[in-house]
Amino acid sequence: MALPIKEIKKYNFYPSLRARACRVWIAKFNGQPRSFNCVFVDNQGGAIQGLAKARDLQTFASIIIEGNHYEIERFYTYENIAANTVTAHDAVIDLKSDTKITAIEPIQPYVPRYYFNFIDYAHIITKSKGSRILTDVLGRLKALQPLEQVMVRGQMLENKREFMLENTHGEELRITLWGDSARDFDEFALRNLPSPVIIAFAGFHVTEFKGNLNFHLIFFLKKIFQIFIANRTNSSFILLKKKFYSQGKPNLKGTAASLWYFNPDIPECSTYTQFFAQVPIEIQQIPSSPNAVLSIEKQIKENRRTIREILCMNPYEHKHLRFTCQALIVEFDFPNGWWYPSCPKCNKKLSGGENNYTCMDHNAITSLPVPWFRLECIVTDGEDVANFLLFGKIAESFFGSSAHHYVYDKKFIDPLVIPPAMAAKLNKSMIFQLRFRDFRSTTNRCEIIITNIFDDTTNKNIHPLETPPTEAKSSTRSETSTPLSSKKQVLIGPCTSQNTVTQFRIAPNSLETPSQNISPNKETSLNYKARRTLDFEAIAQQISHEDECGNAIEAQGNLGNIDTSDTFNHLLLPLKKQRKTSSSSSKEN
DNA sequence: CCCCCCCC
């Protein structure tokens, strides 16, 4: 009796397993192959991942070919605890140099060639969002974006390429490839395929993009709601809102385990092919993102404006314009505090006060509020003065720490008292990348929002892991970071009445522990996202080594060779509709 | 990883 995969236990030894290798991939990290991976499937509903570390990678890659059948002899298993995993199996097969792999005849009864677990577009968020079990989807390739580079975390450029899939109900689904897989995606393979092109994307991580709700409308709706149904919790309002607006759109993000197959030979695919054979279809081109960049250098010079020029721009005519300005911050202005308590799920401001925090979108919160930056920078370019709004992730990068870290870990709880490390950012020449806020205020001028900050003295991005001067610790700093504190400052002649800090209070000592109203021992319940950038000392040590190994270097190295839309148009022209269905499947990675 | 997140 052959061993059923479902009965395999973790931390055990098995003499033999016969199965089909339905998926094979090599996981890469920063472009370097790290492990050989496969999914073994049997005919009793079982699937288990096999993994070989880098040392044995080539050996197994040359033996185990996707689609073929094998006997695996003398193997151990361990626990499947990976953050992302393709199978839900408790165990992983440890492929080591003494594991014997032999090709065998196809096992009977038949095991399907592909191992997929497709999810309906409509249920992706409820079933798969945030799940460590990766998700597979199938669809017609409706649109494709040229390879582009975007700034991520205000810190580095990364390759990105987007796809729009469509199912037979006309629903759309957005897929995003990042890094190496975005760069390596084979457009030429697409060019040779007849239309419609059906793609199976396998092994993707599901996230939710915020719905593009109209704030005006929601605000108005809520007021009306409160007037007519007073003294209720707003849960009814949330239900009402969800009825009218989708709560967000799923976005499938590529992982190291992601694969894709063009026109795979599976029953679901024929359904698609037949359905879309009725109408002429071409693959559309997704326009480049507004935030796509060619290089940091170009970005820094992009649409340079003086403050005078900015103040004379009509915000509503330049809603989508990104522009830059060289200036220095002379003061921070935060009448409502430099941080506010935000919803752990969406970072919107919580109302209701300390004992009754309520999110407009998510009602009562289940974990501690997440402190979130929001403050204005009073800036000058030597001629004029303006207010630039700084919040969220950009502020985190700029200050080198999350507001969460300052408030919970460093105990700078008073929102009206600013930590010294933040004040140390004043009076240094910077390049601000800016845009106008898409909100028509009835009272104020349109806010000018900071979307990125660059160090003017080095023309590099300001590294988010910079160690603040008050807590200097330089020995572990990476080669690629560009700490402002170590660079010569270029000061521009002041034109405001003051360029020193007098308008806000600075906490006297970073080590001081003011009376606190937030319990620090609840930290473990805090959401991971907010904790990511928490501690610059610890993370600087951890990351500096990785950076030296090529992380940032690779990002720099990619700056020169970016696909253009022109090239892309050219490529897609031949992708006209044809009747023939290709069964040739192709894969990457 | 990109979207938004604040304010009225």
Nucleic strand B within 7 A of Cβ A358:
no
Evaluate if residue A559 carries a pLDDT over 70. no
Q: How far is the CA of A217 from the C1' of B4 (A)?
A: 16
d(CA A227, CA A230): 6
Task: State yes or no: pLDDT of A289 exceeds 60.
Answer: yes
* pLDDT of res. A387: 94
Quote the pLDDT of residue A325.
94
A243 Cβ neighbours under 8 A, 6+ residues apart: none
Label residue A519 exposed, middle or buried (CB < 10 Å: 0-12, 13-18, 19+): exposed
Q: What is the mean pLDDT of chain A?
A: 76
Query: Helix axis angle, A235-244 relative to A215-228, nearest 10°?
Result: 140
Any idea which nucleotide's C1' is nearest the CA of A444? Answer: B8
| Spatial distance from the CA of A179 to the C1' of B2 (Å) | 12
A432 vs A434: CA distance, rounded Å: 6
Better-scored residue on pLDDT, A211 or A519: A211
- pLDDT for res A571: 28
Task: Label residue A281 by pLDDT band (50, 70, 90).
Answer: confident
Between CA A318 and C1' B6 the distance (Å) reads: 21
Q: Is the dihedral of CA A560, A563, A565, A567 positive or negative?
A: positive
Position A198 scores a pLDDT of 95
Q: Give the pLDDT band of residue A83 (cuts 50, 70, 90).
A: very high
User: Per-residue DSSP letters for A503-563?
Assistant: SSEE-S-TT-----SS-GGGGGGS-HHHHTT--HHHHHHHHHHHHHTTHHHHHHHGGG---
Q: Which of residues 129-188 of A touch strand B (CB under 7 A)?
A: 150-153, 158, 160, 162, 176, 178-179
pLDDT at A344 over 90: no
How many Å apart are CA A584 and CA A589, to the nearest integer? Answer: 17
A246 touches strand B (CB under 7 A): no
Q: When comparing pLDDT for A463 and A481, which is higher?
A: A463
Which of A276-290, A333-347, A374-388 is the most confident on average?
A374-388
Find the residue closest to B3 using CA and C1' atoms: A209
pLDDT score at A552: 29
Per the structure, the residues numbered 338 to 357 in protein chain A that have their CB within 7 angstroms of any atom of strand B are 340, 342, 346-349
**Protein-nucleic contacts, chain A 360-389 to strand B, CB < 7 Å:** 360, 372, 374, 389
A554: pLDDT strictly greater than 90 = no
Say if residue A7's pLDDT is above 60.
yes
Question: Any idea how long chain A is?
Answer: 589
Indicate the range of A10-19, A47-56, A355-364, A537-546 predicted with least confidence: A537-546
What span, in angstroms and rounded, lies between the C-alpha atoms of A438 and A289?
A: 17
Distance in angstroms: CA A132, C1' B2: 21
**Whole-model pTM over 0.75:** no
Biggest alpha carbon–alpha carbon distance for chain A: 87
CA distance A452 to A565: 25
Position A361 confidence tier, pLDDT thresholds 50, 70, 90: confident
Note if the bond before A196 is cis, omega within 30 degrees.
Answer: yes
Nearest protein residue to the C1' atom of B6, measured from CA: A374
Q: Which positions of strand B lie within 7 Å of protein CB atoms?
A: 1-8
Percent of chain A at pLDDT exceeding 90: 46
Nearest nt to A449, CA vs C1'?
Answer: B6
| Nucleotide at minimal C1' distance from the A162 CA | B2
Contact between A72 and A30 under an 8 Å Cβ cutoff? The reply is no
Smallest CA-to-CA distance from A260 within A207, A206, A205, A198 is with A198
pLDDT tens digit string along A494-543?
Answer: 333 333 333 456 666 543 333 333 333 333 333 333 333 333 333 333 33
Which pLDDT belongs to residue A316?
84
pLDDT: which is higher, A470 or A352: A352
Q: Which residue is nearest to nucleotide B1 (CA to C1')?
A: A152
> If you average pLDDT over residues A201-206, what whole number do you get?
97
Q: Which nucleotide lies nearest residue A213, CA to C1'?
A: B4
Residue A67 has pLDDT above 50, yes or no: yes
**Tokens 């080594």, residue?**
A545
Q: Does the pLDDT value for residue A157 go beyond 60?
A: yes
- Burial tier of A76 (Cβ tally within 10 Å: 0-12, 13-18, 19+): middle
pLDDT at A222: 62
Question: How sure is the predictor about A562, in pLDDT bands with cuts at 50, 70 and 90?
Answer: very low
